[in-house]
Amino acid sequence: MIDPKLLEILACPLHPERPPLREEGDYLVCTLEGHGFPVIDGIPHLLPESVIPKEKMEELLRER
């Protein structure tokens, strides 16, 4: 689980408007676009090469 204070300041690095991210299990999901980023050992991986496309993110969340 991401610290709530940290989650408040995290934003999607791929979108120019920097929308907030929401925590969904082991992922942070862009509230505007729906793509996600993995959280591994409590560390958000917010680099562009770590992005999980929206369709794949929806599939991963359905499997939970």
Domain boundaries, the chain: 4-62
Question: Token pair for residue 24?
Answer: 């969904």
**Blockwise average pLDDT, block size 10, the chain, 64 residues:** 93 96 97 97 95 97 88
Instruction: Give the pLDDT of residue 1.
Output: 86
Does domain 4-62 correspond to CATH entry 2.20.25.10?
yes
pTM more than 0.75: yes
Q: How far apart are the first and last CA of the chain?
A: 16
Question: Token pair for residue 15?
Answer: 């979108």
